[in-house]
Structures are given as C-alpha cells and as structure tokens.
C-alpha cells in the first residue's frame, strides 16, 4: 500500500467521522465524573451465563418487543406473553406504576427473572417538553440539543424507562415529508453535530449512567428521502448520496456511543431496510464497529412479508435476523415474526450462533443499564424529578435560542413593552397548549404549557390591553392522524368569515398585531406529509385581511417546514417552530427584546412547493451561470437560504484567513474569520464556514457546511472565530473510485452568516 492508499483506507475505516474529536473530548471529560461502568468482558460473561440457561423460546422472547397501550385489568396478549417469559422489551408504557407492575411480572414470575427493557418515544421531552428537534437544529448550538435531551432523559429514567427511540437523524430534503420536524433538516454536517449531541444528552458518559437512558438513532437508513415526500414510500438513493448525505449523522451517532439503532420501514434501492444486510451488517457493524443492538421500526420485521420480500412470516424473521436486526418491535403478538425463531432453528434456517449473538446484545444492554440490580421504579424519586423546576428553565432557554427571524421591516422588533398600550394576539394556534408543544409528546401537562397568548399577557401585565381572537377555525387534516387517539387534539371551531371580521376590528384598534399561524401539530410528524405548503385552513385569508388594516403585523409561524405565504408581507416574520412547554414565555422574551433571536434555518426555505427538493448543497452541473433560472416561471433559488436568520443587530465578516495556503493530504487546515457586531444591541451570530472543492475524483457540491459557531457579541465588539478543517472534512465518498477519498485539489472557503456568504479564501491540497 502506498501512502495515499493507506490514507484512503484509514479514511474509509473512520469514514465521515464528523465531530469525532469533540465527542472524544466530551467522553474524556465526563468519564471521570461517573461511576465506573462494568468492563466489556464482565458484561459479556454475565450475558453468556444467562444465555447458557435459555430455551429457544426464551431466546426468541428476549428478541421480541411489544407495544403495550392497554391499562391494567384488561385482557392483554402482550402481558400474557410477558408472564410466559416470552417478552424482552415493551414500548409505550409511560406510567411509573404500570412500568413497575409489569417489571415485577418479569422479575418475579418468569423462569429466568430477566427484567424488561422499557422503551418509549422520548423525542423532545417527557413531561417537560423542549422545542421540536428541527427547532433545536435551528439553534446551531449543540449544547441546546445535549442539555434538552439530558433533561428528557432524566425524566424518562425516573419513571422507569430505559431507552428512547431517538434521536431521529434522518436527513430531510423534501419538506413535504412530515417527519422533517423530528430531525435536523437538510445538512449532513449540522445533522451529525446534532446527532452526536443528542446521544450524549440521552446517554451521559456511558450506557447505564444514572439518570440516563439508551439512545436509539433512527431510521437506518435513508427514510428521509421518501419518494414525493410521502411517508413510508420507497427510497432510491445513489451510493454517493447515501455515504455523503444520509449516512454521516448515523455515523456520528454511532461514534458518540449510541447503544441502539432502529432500522427503517421503507425499501431502500429495492431492498427493505429492515432486511438489508448491507446496511445493518456491512456498514453498521463491519465498517463502523457498532456494538449495540438493532431494533426494527414497529412491525418492520413482520412487514418484510408485506413488502413482498419474504415468503412467509418465518422467512421474514430469518431475513431480518440474518440481515442484522436483533430485536423485533412488534405491534402485537398476532403479528410477531420472531416468535418463529425456535422453528427456524429447528429447520436450520437460522443458526444458534446467529440467535445467541442477537440475544447477547439485548442482555448486554440490560446488564449495562443496571436492570438486574435495580429493576423497579422509585415512585418518590419519579415524582421529585418530574417536578424539578430547573427543567422548565432549560426548556425556555432552549426555545429562545431556536427562533429564526426571517423578516423585520423597519426594525419593528423588538417591541417596546413600555411604549405600547394594546396588542392583538390572533390565530388558531395562539392559545393552543397542545400545538405549542408539537408532535410526539404523550405525557406532557397541558396546564403547565405557556401558550403564546399566555406568555405575552404575563410579560405585559395588566397595564397593556391584550385582546385575543382565534381568527379562524383550527385547520383539520383530510385523513385522521393515528396519533389523535393517543394524544387528543383540541380544535377551535368558529364561523370563519365572522371571526376574520372580528379579528380585523381587533387589529384595527390595537397598536400592534401578533398573528400566530402555521400547521397544527398533527399536520407534521409521522404520517403527516403534505402535498401543499400553503397555510392550511383559512389562515391565508385571515393573514391578508389583517395585513389590509395597514397596522403593524408580526407573524409568528408555528411550523417545521417552509410555508408559502404567497405575496403576503407582514412587517415581521419569525419562525417559532413548536417551541415546547415554555414556548409562550420564550416568545414574549424575544418579542419584547429581553433576548435577541439568533437561530438560523436548517433547510432552504423554498418559494413554492414546486421547487422541492432544493438543497443548498447541490452540484454545479451544466450552465452554473443559470443555476438560479432553472425554471421558466419562477427563480430556482430559495426565498431564504439555508443558514439564514436575522437578529436584532447586524454583523460583518472580514479577514478570512487560512493557516497555510497549501497543505498535504492528511493534514488539517486552520481557518479564522473576524465577526463584528455592527449594530447597537448585544446579539448572537452564527459564524458558518463552507467549503467547495474545485475538481477531483468526483464532482462536489457548490458548498458544504463544515463548521459553525454561535457567538454573542456586544455592540462594536469583534471576535476572531477559529475553525479546524480536518482531513475527514475534506474527504468524501467518490462514486468514481467507490471509496472514501481525499483529492489533491483546490478548495474555496466561504465564511458568513448564511450559505450565500461571499467572503472567500482558497487553499490547495497536494502530496
Ligand atoms: C414508528 C415510528 O416510525 C418510529 O419512529 C417510532 O419510534 C415507532 N413507531 C414507535 O413508536
């Protein structure tokens, strides 16, 4: 092997190891403060001792996880299976007493007394709800992600949960796809940083650390590229897109120590992801060295038959287990493929080694989590942790950092709370506690949630008149959401025409109007893709009618995808996402200037739905001079670019410097840039660094984010921000070479406050 081949090989092994150094530093820093985890050898020995005692049925049971929605006392096949020792894990039990009751069945009534691993979708909080993950990505601050998931994890662990099906690290470039709300948006670098931060927040320094739970990055892999943005539809991705765009956040999560991975529902390039041994074994285990356990998405092993891939249920189990799925997440015992494992062992379709390897991984997770020592729930501790007021502070501060100010004509914001006498707060989402926290929450306390209306009222006190109107009815879905039953929605129903007229009257007599518009929480998330980016319901009419008053209007968008406001131009427009339990307090702090907004878009904000997908990081391709004119009827540029967001101050970038104009393959490049606050308020800017490779083994995107730092600057203050571009940052998977390569080439660098930054520098990479 020559030096270059050696380098390539090294890079392949550590492929796309974004954020690795940071993760290592955090691991080192936190390891000292935690109790020493068991050694790998000790964990394995205990698991093996148990394995030696198990029957094939008990092994199949350890590889089976059932949903359990049913309250105690009802006939329940999942609990019958549990009592018979044929269940290793349960999901969707989220009540401390019920977890304890079920755990006692496993530990006191089954032959081997192996405790149950309880999993749940703790996506952005358990009781205290954080802003949704796409919002957290918009903070461009991994600490927001880590701190939020640490709180979520402490609440979940206290009530007896051991494992979350999060973070969702799927890249989403087609914003029709509803699950964009659960991820970090379109960019693999931002996605990788946020993935690793969330894993650290959930798991702490090691699996089993007190107050922490196992993280399960999902959905491996490619799910975000569903055809037409339609949830669950097939995915067809080139190997270049997979390696360079869709896989890096998973790699970062694995490098951060994630204990679990969830396989995806859909077919990837013709093969269902949950039966895909290339993904689950060649990439995940062999190339990346993943040591944890793999679970399917709900019913996805059984569904290998539904996908018209497996011949029958046993064949489905054989495909899934052979591909690398350890645990089957099963909807109920009547649809469980892994129940057929004992039969498949008898007929030789599976080997004992294959089954034992999978069981060992599940047992090891239970051992590491300390379940054998402490299986039960401490109810008093659970109550104490759930009531911890510090959690609310984390949630509010997180939300404040996520808002993205898209427009602020004439500097309407921030409002002067001493200078106004009346505010109109209008919109169907303005006083909806359920919508404020967003999708994927089941155990929140709505009475604790601060709506936008409540936050504004609390901020202004009794001296200012705050008048509220829902404006129009809550928009409703064409087809009911499967989550509506689990997490009931509360809709407002009014006579829309009369209500719009009333809203206009209120706006007319108010100094300023805050219009809270967007998508109700059940219009985003799983099974919530949309074929339109319009404001749903009659909100556009409401918006236009209120704007026609000519009074100052601030639109706050509750959403997780770009919305098409047509020609409407409110004075100020701010994306507040689904801001969580403390959303209203955070919004009020930002509206009235106690906090300046500093979030940035984690996706390109398209002009219209016809532009989708429109990632900023695309290839130059043919006629780049016409890249913005690829349609004949509208520009092919976004309305707001990736990384964009205004502040209450202004910033300038200068002095972009590279440590050396030319480096060798395998060397790092240090980059610095000066950021100055040129306005009159202390505020945050996110310094962003993009690279562009001019030529090489494959064509590379026009720009790729490779570094960012969110900093706070006082008026007139300048700070030099430093970045290090490591060889991995300059490395990519070349479809021409069918390998990770670092080319000898020239790079352009761009630094600034969004992905259109113009401040440039170059450096070359040679032998
Ligand atoms: C299906 C979803 O795709 C997945 O993300 C979730 O974790 C499971 N259901 C369990 O709720």
Domains of the chain: 34-382 (3.20.20.300), 403-598 (3.40.50.1700), 651-766 (2.60.40.10)
> Residue 35's pLDDT band (boundaries 50, 70, 90)?
low
**Mean per-residue pLDDT, 353-378:** 98
* Cα 301 to averaged position of ligand 1 atoms, centre (Å): 13
User: Does residue 218 line the site of ligand 1, with CB under 6 A?
Assistant: yes
Q: Cβ-count burial of 282 within 10 angstroms (0-12 exposed, 13-18 middle, 19+ buried)?
A: middle
User: What is the tens place of the pLDDT at every residue in 147-178?
Assistant: 999 999 999 999 999 999 999 999 999 999 99
Count, in order, helices (H) and strands (E) of the chain: 23, 26
Mutate to test the pocket of ligand 1, among 66, 224, 295, 329 (most ligand atoms within 8 A of CB): 329
Cα 552 to the center of its chain, rounded Å = 34
Stated pTM of the model: 0.95
Per-residue burial over 159-196, b if 16 or more Cβ lie within 10 Å, else e, is bbbbbbbbbbbbbbbbbbbbbbbbbbbbbbbbbbbbbb
Which residue's CA lies nearest to atom 3 of ligand 1? 297
Q: Is the confidence at residue 9, as pLDDT, over 70?
A: no
User: What is the tens place of the pLDDT at every residue in 454-481?
Assistant: 999 999 999 999 999 999 999 999 999 9
**Mean per-residue pLDDT, 177-198:** 98
Distance CA(766)–CA(652), nearest Å, equals 32
Q: What is the pLDDT of residue 490?
A: 84
Which residue's CA lies nearest to atom 7 of ligand 1? 165
* Cα 295 to averaged position of ligand 1 atoms, centre (Å): 11
User: Does residue 526 line the site of ligand 1, with CB under 6 A?
Assistant: yes
User: Does residue 297 line the site of ligand 1, with CB under 6 A?
Assistant: yes
Mutate to test the pocket of ligand 1, among 92, 121, 161, 439 (most ligand atoms within 8 A of CB): 121
User: Does residue 170 line the site of ligand 1, with CB under 6 A?
Assistant: no
**Mean per-residue pLDDT, 344-373:** 98
Q: What is the pLDDT of residue 559?
A: 98
Distances (CA, A) of 367 to 44, 116, 164, 177, 233: 9, 11, 17, 38, 37
Residue 484 designated active-site: no
User: Does residue 298 line the site of ligand 1, with CB under 6 A?
Assistant: yes
* Cα 65 to averaged position of ligand 1 atoms, centre (Å): 13
Q: Is the confidence at residue 61, as pLDDT, over 50?
A: yes
Output the six-digit token pair for 681: 């308020």
Q: DSSP character for 39?
A: P
* Cα 535 to averaged position of ligand 1 atoms, centre (Å): 27
* Cα 52 to averaged position of ligand 1 atoms, centre (Å): 33
Distance CA(433)–CA(17), nearest Å, equals 40
Q: Is the confidence at residue 58, as pLDDT, over 80?
A: yes
Alpha helices in 14-126 (DSSP H): 20-31, 40-51, 56-62, 77-83, 96-109
Atom of ligand 1 nearest to the CA of 219: 5
651's enclosing H/E stretch is: strand 651-658
Atom of ligand 1 nearest to the CA of 216: 7
Output the six-digit token pair for 654: 């200068």
Query: Residues 100, 297, 326, 496: which is the catalytic one?
Result: 297
> Residue 10's pLDDT band (boundaries 50, 70, 90)?
very low
β-strand pairing of 117-120 with 572-575:
unpaired
Atom of ligand 1 nearest to the CA of 166: 7
* Cα 265 to averaged position of ligand 1 atoms, centre (Å): 9
Asked if the peptide bond before residue 414 counts as cis, ω within 30 degrees of 0, the response is yes
């Amino acid at each position: 092997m020559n030096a270059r081949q050696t380098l390539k090989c090294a890079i392949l092994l550590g492929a796309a190891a974004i954020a690795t150094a940071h993760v290592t530093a955090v691991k080192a820093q936190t390891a000292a403060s935690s109790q020493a985890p068991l050694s790998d050898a000790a964990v394995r020995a205990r698991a093996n001792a148990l394995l030696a005692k198990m029957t094939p049925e008990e092994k199949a049971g350890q590889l089976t996880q059932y949903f359990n929605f049913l309250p105690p006392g009802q006939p329940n096949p999942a609990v019958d299976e549990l009592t018979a020792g044929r269940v290793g894990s349960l999901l969707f039990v989220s009540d401390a007493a019920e977890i304890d009751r079920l755990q006692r069945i496993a530990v006191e009534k089954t032959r081997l007394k192996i405790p149950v691993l309880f999993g749940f979708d703790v996506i952005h909080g358990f009781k205290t709800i954080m802003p949704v993950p796409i919002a957290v990505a918009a903070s461009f601050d991994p600490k927001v992600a880590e701190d939020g998931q640490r709180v979520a994890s402490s609440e979940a662990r206290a009530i007896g949960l051991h494992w979350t099906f999060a973070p969702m690290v799927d890249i989403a470039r087609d914003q029709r796809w509803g699950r964009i709300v659960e991820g970090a948006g379109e960019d693999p670098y931002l996605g990788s940083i946020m993935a690793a931060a969330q894993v650290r927040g959930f798991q702490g320094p090691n699996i089993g650390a007190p107050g922490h739970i196992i993280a399960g990055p999902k959905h491996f892999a490619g799910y975000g590229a569903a055809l037409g943005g339609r949830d669950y539809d097939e995915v067809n991705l080139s190997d270049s897109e997979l390696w360079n765009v869709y896989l890096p956040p998973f790699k970062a999560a694995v490098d951060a120590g994630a204990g679990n991975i969830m396989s995806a529902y859909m077919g990837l390039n013709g093969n269902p992801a949950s039966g895909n041994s290339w993904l689950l074994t060649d990439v995940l285990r062999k190339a990346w060295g993943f040591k944890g356990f793999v679970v399917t998405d709900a019913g996805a092993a059984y569904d290998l038959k539904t996908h018209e891939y497996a011949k029958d249920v046993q064949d489905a189990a054989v495909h899934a287990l052979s591909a690398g799925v350890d645990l089957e997440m099963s909807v109920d015992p009547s649809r469980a493929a892994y129940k057929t494992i004992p039969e498949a062992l008898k007929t030789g379709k599976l080997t004992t080694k294959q089954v034992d390897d999978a069981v060992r991984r599940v047992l090891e997770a239970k051992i590491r989590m300390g379940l054998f020592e402490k299986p039960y729930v401490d109810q008093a501790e659970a109550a104490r942790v759930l009531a911890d007021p510090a959690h609310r502070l984390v949630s509010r501060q997180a939300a404040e950092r996520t808002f993205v100010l898209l427009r602020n004509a004439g500097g309407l914001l921030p409002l002067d709370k001493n200078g106004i006498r009346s505010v109109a707060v209008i919109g169907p989402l303005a006083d909806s506690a359920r919508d404020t926290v967003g999708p994927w929450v089941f155990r929140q306390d709505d009475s604790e949630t601060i709506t936008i209306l409540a936050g504004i009222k609390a901020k202004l006190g009794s001296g200012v008149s705050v008048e509220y109107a829902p404006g129009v009815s809550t928009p409703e879905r064409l087809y009911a959401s499967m989550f509506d039953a689990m997490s009931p929605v509360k809709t407002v129903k009014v006579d829309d025409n009369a209500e719009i007229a009333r809203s206009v009257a209120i706006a007319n007599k108010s100094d300023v109007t805050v219009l809270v518009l967007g998508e109700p929480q059940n219009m985003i998330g799983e099974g919530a893709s949309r074929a339109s980016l319009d404001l749903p319901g009659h909100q556009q009419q409401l918006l236009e009618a209120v704007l026609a008053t000519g009074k100052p209007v601030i639109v706050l968008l509750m959403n997780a995808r770009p919305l098409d406001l047509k020609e409407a131009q409110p004075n100020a427009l701010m994306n507040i996402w689904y801001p969580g339990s403390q959303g209203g307090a955070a919004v009020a702090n930002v509206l009235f200037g106690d906090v300046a907004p500093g979030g940035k878009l984690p996706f390109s904000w398209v002009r219209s739905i016809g532009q989708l997908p429109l990632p900023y990081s695309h290839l130059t391709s043919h006629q780049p001079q016409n890249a913005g004119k690829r349609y004949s009827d509208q520009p092919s540029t976004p309305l707001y670019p990736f990384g964009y967001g205004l502040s209450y101050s202004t910033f300038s970038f200068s002095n972009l410097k590279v440590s050396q104009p030319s480096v060798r393959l395998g060397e790092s490049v240090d980059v610095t840039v000066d950021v100055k606050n040129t306005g009159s308020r202390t505020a945050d800017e996110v310094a962003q660094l993009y690279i562009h490779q001019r030529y090489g083994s494959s064509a590379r995107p026009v720009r790729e984010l490779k570094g960012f730092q969110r900093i706070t600057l006082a008026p007139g203050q300048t700070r030099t921000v430093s970045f290090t571009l490591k060889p991995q940052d300059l490395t990519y998977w070349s479809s021409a070479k069918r390998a990770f390569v670092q080319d000898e080439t020239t790079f352009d660098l761009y630094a600034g406050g969004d992905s259109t930054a113009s401040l440039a520098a170059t450096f070359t990479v040679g032998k």
